[in-house]
Amino acid sequence: MKEDPYVKLARESLEYYLKNNSFLPRPKNLSSELIQEKAGVFVSLKKYGDLRGCIGTTGPTTHSIADEIIQNAVSAGLRDPRFQPIEESELDKLIISVDVLGPPEPINSMDDLDPHKYGVIVQHQGRSGLLLPNLEGINTPKDQVNIALRKAGIYDTVDYDLERFEVIRHK
């Protein structure tokens, strides 16, 4: 089975790190989009249908989407505080997806959200929470915003700012 190049890079990055305890050097044969474009990227890992790790960046923090994937794949596998680090024996059981984020845009209310199309960022006094779009079991803007608020430790009784963004999901 041919794997999406974004997912393949994430898988190779995590595998390389587990075997060598260092980051994968950026491969030379990548598409121009992976090498020349910059964006926030989330890498999600699932094992037997359950989340096993998910880490990302809301905007670019490296020189390219490829570098963002390499770093975030390792972080998702080893540094997500909700889970024990991935072990090498789990690699062949992981389903990996890579979300490339579009630029966030401020919105005025939950009415401007569609949880199947847009991700959401909530912000209040230096705290922020993000939830990706099109996640299983999240069907209303209210559900989406409440989860993002909880992740950020922001009470729903305070005034908070909302932003939405679209993603291109690679599976």
Per-residue pLDDT tens over the stretch 146-164:
999 999 999 999 999 999 9
Percent of the chain with pLDDT over 90: 98
Residue whose entry in the numeric block shows the structure tokens 């096993």:
52
DSSP 8-state class, residue 53: E
Over residues 59-71, the pLDDT tens digits come to 999 999 999 999 9
- Which domains are assigned to the chain? 5-101 (3.30.700.20), 105-170 (3.30.1490.150)
Q: Cα–Cα distance between 100 and 83 in angstroms, integer?
A: 23
* pLDDT for the residue 2: 77
Say if residue 1's pLDDT is above 70: no
* pLDDT for the residue 169: 96
Q: Cα–Cα distance between 85 and 121 in angstroms, integer?
A: 26
What residues contact residue 68 under an 8 Å CB cut-off, 6+ apart?
38, 39, 40, 41, 57, 60, 61, 62
For every residue of 130-164, DSSP letters joined together read EE-SS-TT--SHHHHHHHHHHHHT--TTS--EEEE
Over residues 68-110, the pLDDT tens digits come to 999 999 999 999 999 999 999 999 999 999 999 999 999 999 9
For every residue of 62-131, DSSP letters joined together read SSSHHHHHHHHHHHHHHT-TTSPPP-GGGGGGEEEEEEEEPPPEEESSGGG--TTT-EEEEEETTEEEEE
List Cα–Cα distances, 48 to 90, 95, 166, in angstroms: 11, 8, 27
Over residues 109-138, the pLDDT tens digits come to 999 999 999 999 999 999 999 999 999 899
Per-residue tokens: 170: 């690679």
List Cα–Cα distances, 89 to 11, 19, 125, in angstroms: 13, 11, 42
3-state secondary structure of 6: helix
* pLDDT for the residue 3: 87
Determine contact, residues 132/115, Cβ cutoff 8 Å. no
